[in-house]
Amino acid sequence: MTKKGADSPEHGLIIGLSAVACAVEGHEPKVFIVRGAAHALSAGVHPTNEEGDALPFGPFDPQRHATLEIGLRGWVKEQTPLNPGYVEQLYTFGNRGRYAGDAAESSRVISIGYLALTYQEKTRTTDNVFWGDWYSYFPWEDWRSGKPKIISDVIEQGLKRWINAGETKEEKNGRRTRTNLLFGLDDIPWDEEKVLERYELLYEAKLVYESIRDKGIKVDYVLVPGRSMLYDHRRILATAMGRLRGKLKYRPVVFELMPPEFTLLHLQKTVEAIVGHTLHKQNFRRLVEGSGMVEEIPGKKSAEAGGRPAALFRFRKDVVFERPAPGVKLSPAMG
C-alpha cells in the first residue's frame, strides 16, 4: 500500500506530459500512438482499457527532469523510437475527471500537451507502438476528396437531434448557430483550424464515444464513427491539429515534416495532408517560389519512377530572419 503523505497524489496534483508527435507518410498525416499500461501515469492512475490508443505521456519528475520539455523528450524517447526535432508547448489540460476509471478522484491529473514534428523515413513499429492515421480519429476533418459523407450521413442528423433537444428557443438557436459555424452548414465556409471546437461540440452533444464513456451512460442512437482514445487524448490531438493547421500559414513548420530534398508537388501534398483540403497547384507553386522559403538544387532532379523527373528543392533556413511571417499561404483548389 502506498503511504499517504504531502507528496502523495492523494493530496495533490500529478503533472503529466503528453506528446502529439506528428509526421506525414505517403501524403498521409500520422500521429504516434502507444498502447498498454506501461505508458500510464504512475501513482494509481491506470488505463481503463489496456488496448486503448493513447499519446506518449508520463509524469513530470522535478528530480529527474531539469525542464518540462526535457521531461517530455525523455518520455518520448522511452516510449517510442522517435527523435523529434521541433517541439512546442500546446496547452495545459486540467479538467476534473479527465482520467476515466479514476472514480475515487483521489488525484487530479494536469497534463501539459506538446506538439512534436518529425520526418521519419523508417520507424520501428509494433501492434502497441505505431503511427496512427489522423483521419481515423477525425474522419470529418479530411476534405481532400470533397465534403466527407460522414458529415451529411451522421453528424448533421445527430446534431439536429441535439439542437431540437434544447429546452428553450434561445438554447436551440445557440446550438444551431454553433453547429452551422463549426461544420460549415448554411453556406458558411469551413474553417480548417477549428478542429478542437468541432470535437468539443460533438462531445457536448454526446455523439463521440468518449462523452458516453466519461459520463457512464448508454445511448440508443448511432455515434459518430472515428477511433477513440484513452482519457482526453483525442481532445489533445484535436488541439494539436488545429494549432499545426494554423501555424504553417505563418511559420515554416511544414519543413520539419519534409526530407532535406523534395519536389514542390511533395511539399504541396504534405501541406494538403495537414490542412485537409486540396490546393490550387499553380497558385501554390507561385506562392512558395515567390516566398523565398525554398531554393532549387542546381542540376538535381527527382528519381521517382514514372512521369517526368521534377526539380528538387530545399528549405532556406535563413528565411526566418528575412521575413516576419514565413509561412505557406493557402490557395484552395477551385471547385
From the list 124, 278, 268, 310, the residue with the least C-alpha distance to 257 is: 268
For residues 255-279, give the mean pLDDT.
95
What is the rounded distance in angstroms from the CA atom of residue 124 to the CA atom of residue 46?
26
In one-letter notation, the amino acid at residue 306 is G
CATH second-level architecture of 9-134? Alpha-Beta Complex (3.90)
Going from the C-alpha of 319 to that of each of 272, 295, 331, the distances in angstroms are 22, 11, 21
- What is the residue extent of each domain of the chain? 9-134, 139-225, 252-322
Give the whole-angstrom CA distance, residue 181 versus residue 184. Answer: 6
Helix (H, G, I), strand (E, B), or coil: what is residue 35? coil
- Distance (Å, rounded) from C-alpha 29 to C-alpha 244? 11
Q: Find the mean pLDDT for residues 320-334.
A: 58
6 pLDDT tier (thresholds 50, 70, 90): very low
DSSP string across 252-267: -GGGGGS-SSB-HHHH
Q: Are 72 and 17 contacting, i.e. CB atoms less than 8 angstroms apart?
A: yes
Instruction: Give CB contacts under 8 A, 24+ apart, made by 141-147.
Output: 141/192, 141/195, 141/198, 141/241, 141/276, 142/276, 143/190, 143/192, 143/276, 143/277, 144/272, 144/273, 144/276, 144/277, 144/278, 147/184
The span from the CA of 33 to the CA of 130, in Å, is 5
Asked if the model's pLDDT at residue 40 lies above 90, the reply is no
Statement: 252-322 belongs to CATH 3.90.1150.10 = no
Confidence band of 1 (pLDDT split at 50, 70, 90)? very low
Q: Is 88 helix (H, G, I), strand (E, B) or coil?
A: strand
Looking at the chain, the whole-number percentage of residues with pLDDT higher than 90 is: 58
Residue 194's contacts (CB-CB under 8 Å, 6 or more residues apart) are 182, 242
Interval 195-220 mean pLDDT: 94
Nearest-CA neighbor of 184 among 167, 173, 168, 197?
197
pTM for the whole structure: 0.88
Mean pLDDT of the chain: 85
| Pairing between β-strand 129-133 and β-strand 28-34 as defined by DSSP bridges | antiparallel
CB-based contact 270:254 (threshold 8 Å): yes
More confident residue, 117 or 300: 117
Do 297 and 313 touch, CB atoms closer than 8 A? Answer: yes
Torsion of CA 197, 202, 208, 213, to 10 degrees: 90
Cell of 321: 530572419
The one-letter amino acid code at 284 reads F
Q: How would residue 331 be classed by pLDDT, with cut points 50, 70 and 90?
A: low
Q: Distance between CA 199 and CA 29 in Å, rounded?
A: 18
